[in-house]
Amino acid sequence: MEITNHKNLNSGVLTIRVSGDVDLYSASILYKTYCTIADRGESLVHFDFSAVNYLDSSGVGAIIRILQVAKSKGLRLSFSGIQGTPRKVLAMSNILPLLKEVE
């Protein structure tokens, strides 16, 4: 898994682009990356999952924990590019309806 981020200075949105597999070996990195960004006070964060090929239950758990952190701190999240197997996994785990998806 690779993670890059970029902040749009006009909109104030920080985009986290995730690529590769979000699994047992990488899910904690995704969670810790978000926590670091949330601790900096970034209130508008967008996750781009368009390059995520695989998501397992550890990845689902990381997303759930990310949602909990955002809610507890009053931060806003959005997601895009969730497709294929990751989309199916999130739908089957009933997490997909909790995600604010944008194009």
In the sheet that 14-22 helps form, which strands lie side by side, from edge to edge?
Answer: 2-7, 14-22, 44-55, 76-80
Q: How confident is the model at residue 103 (pLDDT cuts 50, 70, 90)?
A: confident
What is the average pLDDT across 35-47? 96
Average pLDDT over the chain, rounded to an integer: 97
Which CATH architecture does the domain made up of 6-98 adopt?
2-Layer Sandwich (3.30)
The CA–CA distances, whole Å, from 54 to 10, 12, 88 equal 32, 29, 10
The whole-number pLDDT of residue 27 equals 98
> CA 79, 15, 88: angle at the middle one, nearest 5?
25
For 5-33, how does the pLDDT look when each residue is reduced to its tens digit (9 = 90+)? 999 999 999 999 999 999 999 999 999 99
Helix (H, G, I), strand (E, B) or coil at 1: coil
What is the average pLDDT across 41-51? 97
Tell me: pLDDT of 57 over 90. Answer: yes
Handedness of CA 59, 22, 67, 78 (dihedral sign): negative
Joined tokens for residue 50: 């368009």
